[in-house]
Amino acid sequence: MRTAPAPTRTRGRLLLVLVAVVVVALNQRPALVGVAPLLGDLRADTGLSSALAGLLTALPVLCFGAFAPVAPQLARRVGLGTAVAASLVLLGAGTALRLLPPVTALYAGTVVAGGAIAVANVLVPAYVKREFAEPGLVMGVYSAALNVGAALAAGLTVPLGLALGWGWRGSLAAWGLLAVLALAVWLPVAGTGRADRAAAPPGTAWGLLRHALAWRVTLFLGMQSIQFYGLSAWLPTLLVDAGLELADAGLMLAVATVTGAVGAFLGPTLAGRLQVRGRGQRPLVGVVLACYLAGLTGLLLAPASATVVWVAVFGVAQGGGFALGLTLVVLRSATPLTAARMGGVAQCLGYLVAATGPVVLGALHDLTGGWAWSIGLLLVLLVPMAWAGWGAARAVVLPEAARA
């Protein structure tokens, strides 16, 4: 079935779309990442246990997986741009809901915000594919903006709350205002969605899994997400156990975030250039795997020696691998709505699997009293990640029949 005609791509419109994509990306992490620095004050105010407070940080990842399949269905009904606008409205509403006094509202708001971000996670890359003939560079900017948004939330949430004197609720509310700004920037480029609805093919996203290529993309994104969320959750603790001071361990996490942003920009940008030349992205998959191998091996054998090197290399692998996974969804899809469907499937399964990473690594640590088995498991998981990435990085797209 014929795909929706793209809007007129003048240079001014493309610049406006790029700005809108960046502002939306900056919104996709702060409302959730900003909770972690506030957990101490939040627990003191609400009386939550450590387990229940930890659930607030685990819920978003589960929501990313659970709500991802909803995104392509929503896009089919109202159009890509309108669906992203709706996600920003829900993000603002979820953030506002968390400010209400009942503790149940805190969790309900987290679920609403997590679901809203899940929709944007899936649909913004599909929108980029529709608007840009060569989406690699824009996907790089988008992926880097995700990292920047997370870093801003981690670093500014507490100082912002102290400066405004609003407490932890006020700190979260400030990030909700960012969603309002993003909506104002996004609406001029959203369109009515009429063309998308007219051109939307029938079928469900899960039908894509009849094709091996979709499974490879899904598995690569899932294995990469386990690496990302698994070690990110425990990296400071691992380094403190290795003998580093707590402040130094926190600094290492910041190093991983910064190098991750660099990898997130370079991965899709280079992937797009390879695509233009008619080549696949296998060299980039190899680089990501090599960085993971070097970083994890260093943390396994000498975590207290040349720590900044291992963490920086691992950060490049994290950022580059995640961004490359998102970009493969775009490049392996023939149309924007196919990209939305593949993104919905891949992110649903990938994030649900990733949510187990911190739990499994923590359990292995409790059983063994160290981190060797946990890091060893991550090294073993590089094998299926390599197999999936090697197949997903071929210069092919899903067959037309996959859209039906």
pLDDT tens digits for 304-334? Answer: 888 999 999 999 999 999 999 989 998 988 8
Q: How far apart are CA 374 and CA 357, in angstroms?
A: 10
- Predicted confidence band of residue 85 (pLDDT cuts 50, 70, 90): very high
Alpha carbon of 294 to those of 67, 242, 315, 326: distances in Å?
34, 18, 11, 23
The average pLDDT across 344-360 equals 85
Cα 325 to chain centroid, rounded = 10
Q: Is-contact 17 186, C-beta < 8 A?
A: no
pLDDT at 8: 55
Q: What percent of the chain has pLDDT over 90?
A: 35
Q: How far apart are CA 232 and CA 357, in angstroms?
A: 10
Q: How far apart are CA 82 and CA 67, in angstroms?
A: 17
**Measured in Å, how far apart are the chain's first and last C-alpha atoms?**
8
Q: Is-contact 91 116, C-beta < 8 A?
A: yes
pLDDT at 89: 95
| Residue with the larger pLDDT of the pair 246 and 315 | 315
Tokens for 396? 């092919």
pLDDT at 399: 67
pLDDT tens digits for 155-166? Answer: 777 787 777 777
b/e burial code for range 301-338 (CB count within 10 A of at least 16 → b): eebeeebeebbbbbbbbbbbbbbbbbbbbbbbbebbbb
User: For the chain, how big is the Rg over CA atoms in Å?
Assistant: 20
| Residue with the larger pLDDT of the pair 255 and 9 | 255
pLDDT at 57: 73
Q: What percent of the chain has pLDDT over 70?
A: 92
Q: Is-contact 205 345, C-beta < 8 A?
A: yes
- The predicted model scores a pTM of 0.84
DSSP H or E segment with residue 52: helix 50-67
pLDDT at 282: 93
Helices 50-67, 336-354: crossing angle, 10 deg rounding: 150
Q: How far apart are CA 94 and CA 219, in angstroms?
A: 30
Q: How far apart are CA 272 and CA 135, in angstroms?
A: 7
Q: How far apart are CA 280 and CA 54, in angstroms?
A: 40
pLDDT tens digits for 164-215? Answer: 777 778 788 788 888 999 999 999 988 755 555 545 455 566 777 788 888 9
Helices (H), 191-306: 194-199, 212-241, 246-276, 282-301
pLDDT at 235: 83
Q: How far apart are CA 153 and CA 174, in angstroms?
A: 10
Tokens for 116? 């809203």
> Which residue from 107, 60, 115 is spatially nearest to 354, judged by alpha carbons?
60
Q: Is-contact 72 119, C-beta < 8 A?
A: no
pLDDT at 9: 67
Q: How far apart are CA 168 and CA 161, in angstroms?
A: 6
Cβ-count burial of 297 within 10 angstroms (0-12 exposed, 13-18 middle, 19+ buried)? middle
pLDDT at 300 over 50: yes
Give the DSSP per-residue string, 102-128: SHHHHHHHHHHHHHHHHHHHHHHHHHH
pLDDT at 86: 95
Give the 3-state secondary structure of residue 381.
helix
pLDDT at 3: 44
Other Cβ atoms closer than 10 A to 163: 12
- Predicted confidence band of residue 139 (pLDDT cuts 50, 70, 90): very high
pLDDT at 353: 84
Decide if domain 1-200 falls under CATH 1.20.1250.20. Answer: yes
> Which residue from 301, 299, 325, 300 is spatially nearest to 312, judged by alpha carbons?
299
Give the domain ranges of the chain.
1-200, 201-404
Q: Is-contact 334 397, C-beta < 8 A?
A: yes
- Predicted confidence band of residue 293 (pLDDT cuts 50, 70, 90): very high
The DSSP code for 329 is H
Classified by CATH at the fold level, domain 201-404 comes out as Growth Hormone; Chain: A; (1.20.1250)
Give the 3-state secondary structure of residue 224.
helix
Torsion (CA) 215, 63, 140, 272 in degrees, nearest 10 = 20
pLDDT at 134 over 60: yes
The average pLDDT across 86-107 equals 90
pLDDT at 84: 94
Same fold, 1-200 and 201-404: yes
Mean pLDDT score across all residues of the chain: 85
CA-CA-CA-CA torsion sign (288, 294, 299, 305): negative
pLDDT at 172: 80
pLDDT tens digits for 38-71? Answer: 777 777 888 877 667 767 777 888 888 889 889 9
